[in-house]
Structure 1
Amino acid sequence: MEALDRCRSILADLVGFPSVSSDSNLPVIAWLAERLSDAGARVEILTDATGIKANLFATLGPDRPGGLMFSGHTDVVPVTDQVWTSDPFVLTEREGRLYGRGACDMKGFLACLMAELDLLKVAAREKPIHFAFTHDEEVGCVGARALAAWLADRDIRPALAIIGEPTGMQVIEGHKGCCEYTVTFTGRSGHSSAPELGVNALEYAARYVGKLLELRNGLIAQEPEGSRYMPPYATLNVGGIEGGLSHNVIAPKAVLKWETRPVTAGDLAYVKREMTAFANEVLLPGMRAVAPEAAIETEIIGEAAALFPRAENAARGLVFALTGETTADVVPFGTEAGFFQEIGMDAVVCGPGSISQAHKPDEFIALSELSRCLAMLERLPEQWTEHWA
């Protein structure tokens, strides 16, 4: 069977696992583990505290430091309230496109890897090739954070990482971080005719939003010189606010959802420092002067690390050699790559499909994109020695 036919068949199997982030990913992890084990890989399944989610780490080749790691997430976003023209969890081919939830983001890349395991096994005879498949990327890169910490504790870990998010097979060397927070304001209820006896949580949430918008202007003002991003500065978004009981009741609780996408590490430090001080030194004293039980609690939903472009990047050089590309770009969306860079790996993002298809109804990946990814992998054995790091 030709590589593209194998890839199509494998992708059909992968799409058939409805590994939505809210549900378990264990079935798809077990399926991938079996194929890797059959190819001779040493496989470790790392279950999270819930017991229903897991990362997979596997290695072909010798047990030695360094090597190349291919990385991708196994979870997909929901299809709830989306109108599809075919079953989202049954791979459907139409006019050179394969439709299905996760076909593009990012099971297409996983299918390419599984289709070329025999070739990758040959490439790994002297220098290891690793596979890192994670859970819960779509809800804050939870699995990647845990996997990076686990790898950091090992004496043996990869040197290079290719994260196969859909980039149209373009080489991406940098992206912004993505940091998401939920803030819960607890006040004191009461009749609206006596506002001085209560603490309106919605009002304090609104003041918090006002401060966020002030900081958003500050982020624009401190745009890094020569930034390659679009927009070139760190962004900040208020995603939702909920609370209140009725027109004539002082709102006892409010929940605010917001995110920021820093360009530099300093951007995030600035936002967190200012918002913590505003909550603790300005808002809380006023709330607790009336209601000592009042509280402002911040939950970190996810803090996806930025991927910073670097002058020296062996992973970028390797992917240039494998794809024929000669330039690398940056993107505004986040990936898991930054976590691996933080623990010392050279990392790039490069994978089949278009990010414009991600999360949409009738998500698809073109067969031509899968062919380009397979061609990249097929060049690996001849390039591996030259670009070893």
Structure 2
Amino acid sequence: MPNTADLLSTLLAFPTISANANEALIRWCAARIGDAGGRIHIMAGAAPGKFNLLASFGPDTGSGIVLSGHSDVVPVAGQAWSTDPFILTDRNGKLYGRGSSDMKGFLAACLSAATRADKGKLLRPLHLAFSYDEEIGCVGVRDLLDRLAEEKFQAEGCVIGEPTEQKVARGHKGKLAGCICCFGLPAHSANPALGCNAISLAADMVREAETMQAHLAMSGPRDDAYPYPSTSVHVGTIKGGSALNIVPEYCEMQFEIRNVAGDEPRELVETLREQAAHITARRGKGRVEIGITNEYPGLDTKEEDLFARKILAAAGTQSCKIGFGTEGGLFSQRLQMPVVICGPGSIDRAHKPDEYVTQDELDACDMFLDRVIAGLSS
């Protein structure tokens, strides 16, 4: 019976950066689950080589529990790793590798727990759901959830094992990502009045985004359970211009809105569009287009929810809300079930060189999942 660290070592060796296929990892997991007596459904995704996996143990019917995680990881290019990111390296109980915290440690713990469990005693089903392309906007899980919704899938609730240091997170903000595209008029820089500077338009829109965030922080909805308690409006990239002596014709910015409950991100986008129209009207030249490229809902499971209380008792830790997004809001919205986030590792180590999870954290997750699964037998 392989332990969780051994399983993690194998999972890390699959370089499932979101740009790559995840098929080999999914089929390897399916084989392990099949050996453990699970019923397996591999579902092809929208892109070649991309797959979701749903596996079930115990009865075919009944209100069971879903343990869920994503199989993809963020890139390592340009990062200064001291170890090979796709080979697990153990240094004094710290297990280094890309995805060790986010979130192959939890996938390994799920496989390990399913192997250990006495499936003959299960009175309600245990489901494992592994998705693809979470890191680029919770893309792949939507295919899985659409399929489950069509099949009238039901469960008592879902635990998503993102790295929370084994705390039970009941909520996270929603996210909307988009592009602010600024179109000017080219001219020689010696006579800028003949043109319209697209970078200058973009600078105006950056100020509008900052003004909006300041207004939301001052008078918008707040949730003090979050590290940043208000809705944030963030410009992350900007590209524009072709040469120093040309008035730039085009500039684009990628932006995101991470909203607390009570703020509607699409309404905030409409406000940005209105401000863009005022800016271009004052100038009498140029235009600004704002498009939405990705969005997913927030999660807000109530503290008094029975499922949340059960998972909190099994974890033996405290509840919280987290600042980063997960697939939890989509599970909750599309399948109408309570969802909590609880897993080994720390998000503060994720997406960085020398990402790691500790052996102690994996051991704690093993004990947590054993208690969760034992609850399906009573």
Counterpart check, 1:339 vs 2:330? yes
Q: Residues 370 and 303 of structure 1: is their aligned pair in 2 closer, same or farther, counting only changes over 3 Å?
A: same
Query: How many equivalent residue pairs?
Result: 377
Q: Conserved in 2, the CA contact under 8 Å of 1:104 and 1:363?
A: yes
Q: Conserved in 1, the CA contact under 8 Å of 2:239 and 2:251?
A: yes
- Superposition map of 1:208-247 within 5 A: 208-224=205-221, 227-247=224-244
Match of residue 98 from structure 1: 95
- Superposition map of 1:260-271 within 5 A: 260-271=257-268
Q: Residues 311 and 102 of structure 1: is their aligned pair in 2 closer, same or farther, counting only changes over 3 Å?
A: closer
When normalised by structure 2's length, the TM-score is 0.91
Alignment RMSD, CA only? 2.3
Q: Residues 161 and 297 of structure 1: is their aligned pair in 2 closer, same or farther, counting only changes over 3 Å?
A: same
When normalised by structure 1's length, the TM-score is 0.89
Q: Deviation digits for residues 275-332 of structure 1, max 9, x if unmatched?
A: 23334x3356678x657xx6625241x323211141442331221232223x411121
Alpha-carbon distance in 1 for matches of 2:120, 2:139: 31
Match of residue 282 from structure 1: 278
Alpha-carbon distance in 2 for matches of 1:381, 1:216: 43
Following superposition, the deviation at residue 381 of structure 1 comes to: 4.2
Instruction: Indicate which of 288, 291, 296 corresponds to 1:298.
Output: 291
Match of residue 323 from structure 1: 315
Alpha-carbon distance in 1 for matches of 2:84, 2:297: 34
Identical amino acids, percent of aligned pairs: 36
Once structures 1 and 2 are overlaid, which stretch shifts more, 132-141 or 172-181? 172-181
Q: Residues 251 and 114 of structure 1: is their aligned pair in 2 closer, same or farther, counting only changes over 3 Å?
A: same
Q: Residues 295 and 212 of structure 1: is their aligned pair in 2 closer, same or farther, counting only changes over 3 Å?
A: closer
Alpha-carbon distance in 1 for matches of 2:107, 2:296: 21
Once structures 1 and 2 are overlaid, which stretch shifts more, 67-76 or 5-14? 5-14
Counterpart check, 1:122 vs 2:119? yes
Q: Deviation digits for residues 191-210 of structure 1, max 9, x if unmatched?
A: 23444543332222222212
Alpha-carbon distance in 1 for matches of 2:227, 2:46: 38
Q: Deviation digits for residues 93-151 of structure 1, max 9, x if unmatched?
A: 11011111111111011101111223446177331111111111111111233333333
Match of residue 359 from structure 2: 367
Alpha-carbon distance in 2 for matches of 1:295, 1:273: 12
Which runs of 5 or more residues in structure 2 are unaligned? none
Q: Conserved in 2, the CA contact under 8 Å of 1:62 and 1:124?
A: no
Q: Conserved in 1, the CA contact under 8 Å of 2:231 and 2:263?
A: no
Q: Conserved in 1, the CA contact under 8 Å of 2:123 and 2:377?
A: no
Which runs of 5 or more residues in structure 1 are unaligned? none
Q: Residues 197 and 42 of structure 1: is their aligned pair in 2 closer, same or farther, counting only changes over 3 Å?
A: farther
Structure 1 residue ranges, 4+ long, deviating more than 6 angstroms after superposition: none
Q: Residues 218 and 32 of structure 1: is their aligned pair in 2 closer, same or farther, counting only changes over 3 Å?
A: same
Alpha-carbon distance in 2 for matches of 1:59, 1:76: 24
Once structures 1 and 2 are overlaid, which stretch shifts more, 175-184 or 69-78? 175-184
